[in-house]
Amino acid sequence: MKDEVLILGGGVAGCAASIALARKGRRVTLIERETTPRHKVCGEFLSGEALEDLHALGIDVASLGAVPLDHVRLAAAHRAAEAPLPFPAASLTRKALDTALIAEAHAAGVRMECGRSVQALSRTANNGWQATLDDGTTREAPVVFLATGKHDLRGYSRPTDPHKWVAFKMYFKLSPTQAAELTGASELMLYPGGYGGIQPVEDGMANLCCVIQHKHLPSGGHRWENFLAKMQKDCPHLAMRLDGAVPLLEKPLAITHIPYGYIRRTTEDGLYCIGDQAAVIPSFTGDGISIALHTARCAVTAYLAAEPAPVFQAKLRSAMLPQMRLAEIAADGLNNSFARAVLPFCLRVWPGVMRVTAKLTRITQQGVVTPQTVIS
Ligand SMILES: Cc1cc2nc3c(=O)[nH]c(=O)nc-3n(C[C@H](O)[C@H](O)[C@H](O)COP(=O)(O)OP(=O)(O)OC[C@H]3O[C@@H](n4cnc5c(N)ncnc54)[C@H](O)[C@@H]3O)c2cc1C
């Protein structure tokens, strides 16, 4: 029997789409290459919009241990400034979030095939789709949602990343003094060639997630110790935070090739591209999860309304273009040495800059959920 919808990738976007479709009575099969969710390179900041969408999907982030965040702190060179966040926010490890999403998809009746990787996607003779899995078997469906995140399927690649971004993530147990200083804060730290974020997550851990253009990596290439030492030298605020901290992973997680600013232009009939396969916003906005949820919701609505995938993809692109371009301009600003020098000073004088930037670089949502309903 042919499945009605095949979802490739069981991260945020894939799970969200599969839950929504299954709840509308559609027959859905989701293929995820990992057997169980693992830690992922991600700052794990959940914006107000992400919290709203997760709430609507039935995910209670508070019960998963999400940590409420209410202010943002920007640090560069020897200066730091802070401002309240203009929306409710929280942080939660991706392992916990993805586990909850997979469980919700299962409960909604989605047929899950975890531990199977999709190797190829091709057209069938009757204009449907065929996915070939790593064990050589195939799955067919008239409609596919492509949600493989940063991983491209052969034949459906996004453009290469000219800056050759490299991203690292490490969990730390901070000293009691530094952990207390970080309470309720999402900190953004600037240094030449990139930026990093540190914030508390559940179980008393702090997540340090940072990106840097390859040409700015210190000699020693991808060695984490060298990069960490350089970041602390360039941003003494980070050195202070990590004073007495204990790393909690044996080695950091790392990824390369992040096509920031990408928005998919076109697609083929019956192929809805969502999450990072639809758009990749600069990480400092902390809005990628929200975009994954938003694009999944829009694609499901389009599919249920029989809107052809190419029409959906073009509409999504025009709707997201302004925020994406603003986020890119802001990201270029953060990477400018003059801006790095004056930004924290400006923020002390006018903390509203941070609130305005945060609002402008966010994808607008329809529903309204009060902070109290999301994080108790
Ligand atoms: C450095 C960095 C920091 C970030 N920080 C934040 C942040 O703080 N807040 C925020 O909101 N966003 C952040 N993001 C962005 C966010 O992580 C992504 O936008 C979001 O995870 C995209 O969701 P997705 O569902 O598209 O992809 P993912 O959540 O990555 O899911 C894709 C899934 O597809 C599976 N998959 C891949 N290939 C295959 C295959 N061939 N077959 C089967 N399954 C496959 C993968 O295993 C994975 O589970 C950050 C990104 C980076 C790079």
How do beta strands 253-256 and 165-173 pair? antiparallel
Q: Which atom of ligand 1 is nearest to the CA of 276?
A: 26
pTM of the model: 0.93
Q: Is the pLDDT of residue 161 over 70?
A: yes
Backbone φ, ψ for residue 186 (5° rounding): -115, 115
CA atoms within 13 A on the CB side of 265: 3
Task: Please tell me the predicted confidence (pLDDT) of residue 13.
Answer: 98
From ligand 1's centre to the CA of 94, what distance in Å?
Answer: 9
Ligand 1 contacts (CB < 6 A) are 8-14, 31-34, 40-45, 50, 117-118, 147-151, 153, 167, 209, 211, 258, 275-276, 283, 286-290, 292
d(C-alpha 231, C-alpha 25), whole Å: 50
d(C-alpha 258, C-alpha 284), whole Å: 13
From ligand 1's centre to the CA of 126, what distance in Å?
Answer: 32
Percent of the residues in the chain that have a pLDDT greater than 70, as a whole number: 88
Q: Is the pLDDT of residue 371 over 60?
A: no
d(C-alpha 64, C-alpha 90), whole Å: 11
d(C-alpha 290, C-alpha 293), whole Å: 5
- For ligand 1, atom 5: residue with the closest CA: 43
Average pLDDT along the chain: 90
Query: Residue 123 contacts by C-beta under 8 Å, 6 or more apart in sequence?
Result: 129, 130
From ligand 1's centre to the CA of 250, what distance in Å?
Answer: 22
Asked if 62 and 108 count as a contact pair (C-beta separation under 8 A), the reply is no
- Nearest of 95, 39, 87, 83 to residue 252 by alpha carbon: 39
Q: Is the pLDDT of residue 349 over 70?
A: no
Task: Please tell me the predicted confidence (pLDDT) of residue 222.
Answer: 67
Task: Please tell me the predicted confidence (pLDDT) of residue 220.
Answer: 62
Beta bridge partners of residue 190, listed in sequence order: 76, 195
d(C-alpha 55, C-alpha 293), whole Å: 11
**What single string gives the DSSP state of each residue in 187-236?**
EEEEETTEEEEEEEETTTEEEEEEEEEGGGSPTTTT-HHHHHHHHHHH-H
Which position has the token pair 């004088």? 349
Q: Is 239 helix (H, G, I), strand (E, B) or coil?
A: helix
d(C-alpha 151, C-alpha 257), whole Å: 10
359/163: higher pLDDT? 163
Backbone φ, ψ for residue 7 (5° rounding): -110, 125
Q: Is the pLDDT of residue 120 over 70?
A: yes
From ligand 1's centre to the CA of 3, what distance in Å?
Answer: 25
Asked if 298 and 272 count as a contact pair (C-beta separation under 8 A), the reply is no
Q: Is the pLDDT of residue 207 over 50?
A: yes
CA angle at 102 for the pair 96 and 107, rounded to the nearest 5°: 125
299/160: higher pLDDT? 299
From ligand 1's centre to the CA of 279, what distance in Å?
Answer: 11
From ligand 1's centre to the CA of 276, what distance in Å?
Answer: 7
Which position has the token pair 């069938």? 124
Beta bridge partners of residue 283, listed in sequence order: none
Tokens of 300: 């499901």
Asked if 354 and 83 count as a contact pair (C-beta separation under 8 A), the reply is yes
193/208: higher pLDDT? 208
- For ligand 1, atom 9: residue with the closest CA: 286
Confidence bin at 372 (pLDDT 50/70/90): very low
Query: Residue 373 contacts by C-beta under 8 Å, 6 or more apart in sequence?
Result: 55
